[in-house]
Structure 1
Amino acid sequence: MKYHNYYVYIVTNPKKTVLYIGVTNDLVRRLDEHLNNAGRPHTFAGRYWCHLLMYWELFADVHQAIAREKELKGWSRAKKEALIAAQNPEWRELNQEVGGF
């Protein structure tokens, strides 16, 4: 079985009032897509300007990544915030750290 990189990630808007959770096999490309869609109402992340990376996890198996995405989406806002704060206590934008904009 061949393994790839899959990412579960959380992005937010500049005011950090909205959280968007997604899964992708190319985190840099996906962050760029979120940035390009910022302010465009045809997507949830675009409508709410969610393009600032706050948190991400790496998986080798797509099924595990999808399961984790679904798990996180079912969490309360407080639990998601605690997850972000555990790894990124200052809620710094991580886009440049992963090669995004």
Structure 2
Amino acid sequence: MVIGRFPVGKLLIFAMKRVSKPFGDLLMWMGKHHPFIRHYVIIPPAQLYNTFEVRSKLRMLRLKQPRRIPRLSPPIATRLGADMLSEVFVFCIGLGLIYYEISKVFP
């Protein structure tokens, strides 16, 4: 039983996630069909994320750091990069809404 107001914030977050899904699918399609976008926009953030993730996990486990981290395969990197960029899209929309609300309060 819900007591209080209707959770409008959760509804808006759900709507933003639903909007990001087609954007992620568009990025995935562009990654498959446009080599320039795949190699210079989608894959580099995924490879960078993979490097940071592996190094941080090894550091937390207090294991020896390797000199080179194996790169992700192009299909996996394309999917990870498309997902990351769609999440960045949602985050930017949220920041824009917060900035808009704050600019109304403090003109």
Same fold (TM over 0.5): no
Compare CA radii of gyration and give the structure with the larger one. Answer: 2
Q: Could you tell me the TM-score, scaled by structure 2's length?
A: 0.25
TM-score (norm 1): 0.26
- Which protein has the bigger helix share? 2
